Copies of this chain bind each other. A is one copy, B any other.
Amino acid sequence: MSEQNDTFERQLANWRDLTLAEINATLPSREPRRHLYDLVTAHMSRAGKGIRPALCIATAKAFGGEEANALPSAAALEMLHNAFLVHDDVEDGSELRRNHPTMAAEHGVPLAVNAGDAMNALSIRLLRRNLPLLGAPTAIRVYEEIDALLVESLEGQAMELGWIRDNDMRVSASDYLRMTLKKTCLYSFIHPMRIGALVANGERADLDRFDRLGFFMGAAFQIQDDVLNLIGGRRYGKEIGGDLMEGKRSLILAHLFERVCGREAEALREFLGRSRKRRVPREIGWVYDLLRRHGSIEYAQQASRDLAAAAVEEFETAFAGTQDQEAKQFVRQILNYVVTREF
């Protein structure tokens, strides 16, 4: 088991390195460095584990594609993910990301918004490399996948930001899951697999087979992420309780909203409605208490486990008939990794 894990970690690191090399080859090596490209390079040097590119490359290989043919798409997905993160941190007012000040905290909102835009543009530029590799028809199909995930993700983000802005306490578990499908599942899980299959099989690929698996994986992942944000964990690189400080609606809060009433509901609404700077640690303690009393965190942990189990079951359907068992096994390990991680 440990040997298998070592192999997994090595492969993950290897694809992460190839992805970052592909990204670096597209980053313009010219001015303005100090106010643009240095920011992008520094951000990418702290890039995460590279789950999205690995998922794309492994899916391509599982269905008989070449690693090299998946690299530009994998790199575009990773760059796009990081562009989202830069703007997310601006929108959420977050100060910490991967144990380091966010780009906005370090360089100010104006340069961070602009650098995020540039990362976005460069991720689309990466897709041009697909033209000679995959031919125009398939390259254009990949582009359509990226186009779909971009707009859906921004819609999901608008839902989440809107709930905070309206201090909406009617957000239900189903609203949350719809938002998560848009904001997390599509770009982190569903489209990386769809694009991998496209790279392997072009126009003939059956793409919808990944949709349910990606939803279960993404929802399990996001709910677990929300839980970790509240209770912390080994190597968790973000501010503990940051989501609460931002008033972010999670499955945990949706559970709580259904259960609180009267003065408790009013106090919660008052807390969530205040600006980040006017929330004090004592009150955060009170909200934790409330969550404990209503079992909202345990509820979310159970939901994440249930979704993870559904993903494991769905996996065999989505990856039926693959040609490369090793690559298929790798995706299975990503699934494990994503839903059981505690960092």
Q: Chain A contact residues: over half helix, strand or loop, or mixed?
A: helix
- Which partner residue on chain B sits nearest A36 by CB separation? B158
**A121 to B120 CA separation, bound complex (whole angstroms):** 9
Chain A interface size, as a band, is 35 or more
In-complex Cβ contact of A32 among B115, B118, B158 (8 A): B158
Given contacts A108-B165, A111-B161, A111-B165, contact A121 B35 (CB under 8 A): no
A37 to chain B, nearest CB (A): 8
Determine the chain B residues whose CB is within 8 A of the CB of A114 once the complex forms.
87, 91, 154, 157-158, 161
Count of identical protomers in the assembly: 2
User: Restricting to A188-206, which residues have a CB under 8 Å from any CB of B?
Assistant: none
Shortest Cβ distance from residue A271 to the other chain B in the assembled complex, whole angstroms: 19
Expressed in whole angstroms, the minimum distance between the Cβ of A89 and any Cβ of chain B is 10
CB nearest to A161 among chain B residues: B110
Check if A90 is an interface residue, CB within 8 A of chain B.
Answer: yes
Asked if A269 lies at the interface with its beta carbon under 8 angstroms from chain B, I say no
Q: Cα distance A124–B120 when bound, in Å?
A: 11
Asked, given contacts A144-B128, A159-B32, whether A91 binds B118 with beta carbons under 8 Å apart, the answer is no
Q: Is A324 an interface residue (CB 8 A)?
A: no
- With an 8 A cutoff between CB atoms, is A338 at the interface? no
How would residues 114 to 143 of chain A score, 1 for a CB under 8 Å from any chain B CB and 0 otherwise?
A: 110110111011001001000011001001
Q: Measured between alpha carbons, how far is A136 from B137 in the docked complex, in Å? A: 9
Of all chain B residues, which has the CB nearest A179?
B32
Q: Do A122 and B109 touch (CB < 8 A)?
A: no
Q: Which residues of B contact A32 (CB under 8 A)?
A: 155, 158-159, 162
Q: List 18 A-B contacts (CB under 8 A).
A: A28-B151, A28-B155, A32-B159, A35-B165, A36-B155, A36-B158, A90-B109, A90-B110, A91-B109, A91-B110, A91-B114, A114-B154, A114-B157, A115-B158, A118-B155, A121-B147, A136-B136, A136-B137
A interface vs B, CB < 8 Å?
Answer: 28, 31-32, 34-36, 87, 90-92, 107-111, 113-115, 117-118, 120-122, 124-125, 128, 131, 136-137, 140, 143-144, 147, 150-151, 154-155, 157-159, 161-162, 164-165
Closest 9 CB pairs of A and B: A35-B162, A36-B158, A91-B110, A121-B150, A118-B154, A35-B158, A32-B158, A136-B136, A110-B161
